[in-house]
Structures are given as C-alpha cells and as structure tokens.
Amino acid sequence: MVVENEGNGRYLLNFARLERGKLEYHIESIVIQEVIADIAPMIEPQVASKGLTYEARLPEEPIQVAADREKLVQIILNLMSNSVKFTPTSGRIVIEIVERSDGTQPVGVVFLRVSDTGIGIPVDKLETIFDPFVLLSQGLAARRDGTGLGLSISRALARAMGGDLRARSVAGTSTTFTVTLPRASTA
C-alpha cells in the first residue's frame, strides 16, 4: 500500500520521474467501482483502528474511466490515507461518484469525491497543498510526518491522465477532494 508516511521513498521516486517526464502511463478502460472495492481492504483497518466511519456511495451501474489503474489506485489511496490521517476519532470518510453541483453530469467526465469530517484546510492554503513539499503545520497536521508530495503527485497523475484533482474545505470541519477523469468510451 502506498501511504505517504510509509512510502516516502516511493513518493520521491515518483516525484523525480514526474519532474523528468519519465513516468509511463498505461491508459485503459477501468471500472472505478472495482478499483475502490480493491482498495477498501487496504484502508478499512486504518479506519477501524482510529474509530472512523467509512462509506462508499457508488452507483450499481459500472462506471468506466480511461486511466492507468496503478496511478488511479495511488491517487485514491493517497486521498483516503490523508482523510484517515487528518480526521479525528469518530469522524466520517465518504468516497463517492457524484454529479456536478448543478446536478448535471457531463458525458465525458467522471467525478470521484473523497470527503471527510477532518480538521479541514484554511481557504488561503487550498492551492498551496498541491505544491511539492508543502506540509500544513496546524493542529493534527503538525503531529504527522510525511514528505508533502502526496497531493502534488496525485494532482500531476490525474492531470496526466486527462483529469484533475481539486480541493475545497472548511477549516476545522471538513475537506473534500474531487478527482475528475475521462469517462471511457463504451464503444
């Protein structure tokens, strides 16, 4: 499992490859629900040991994205691990496939959202968290180790696959990360 505080060497290696443009991608049609189901056993012990609630809200109909499976797993694991790390005991983490806030779903895009009831991120720091080596030094974050590369790498991976990674937060209350990925062609 790639968790920032357990895989710092891997993060540094991936960051170096990203910086040099040497990271290879194997884009294929992937059922996103299957990826999330495969990740669940890796993240659930951390969730349980911290006394958190985890919920996956996924449609029954398979949703296919065009992505590199390994890179998508790395993105989701990083987001889930951060949620566990920065959510106090008895908090909640939700992963879901959502529509846009206006209630529509673009034909060619899939929105995957990871939300938590954690410590949140100050509004003025929302973009800087995607910069390499940025570690917020507030509350719980000050007591956690890491390289500050997980979100930077995750955003770069999402963008290299034709998507994006964005965040919104209410400091002290919650954080939501939204990954957009191209929907795979069903033809």
pLDDT given for residue 145 in this prediction: 56
Global pTM reads 0.83
For 24-173, where are the E strands, in sequence order? 28-31, 53-57, 64-67, 92-98, 109-116, 164-170
Domains of the chain: 8-182 (3.30.565.10)
Alpha-carbon gap, residue 63 to 25, rounded angstroms: 20
- At 154-174, the pLDDT tens digits run 999 999 999 999 999 998 899
pLDDT given for residue 140 in this prediction: 40
In single-letter form, the type of residue at position 87 comes to T
Contact yes or no for 19/156 (Cβ under 8 A): no
For 151-165, the DSSP string reads HHHHHHHHHHTT-EE
Contact yes or no for 144/72 (Cβ under 8 A): no
Predicted confidence band of residue 2 (pLDDT cuts 50, 70, 90): very low
Question: Which residues fall within 8 angstroms of residue 118, CB to CB, at 6 or more apart?
Answer: 83, 86, 87, 88, 91, 140, 174, 175
Predicted confidence band of residue 149 (pLDDT cuts 50, 70, 90): confident
How many other C-beta atoms lie within 10 A of the C-beta of residue 162? 16
Separation in Å, CA 69 to CA 18, 148, 162: 17, 23, 14
The H or E element containing residue 85 is helix 69-86
- At 65-85, the pLDDT tens digits run 999 999 999 999 999 999 999
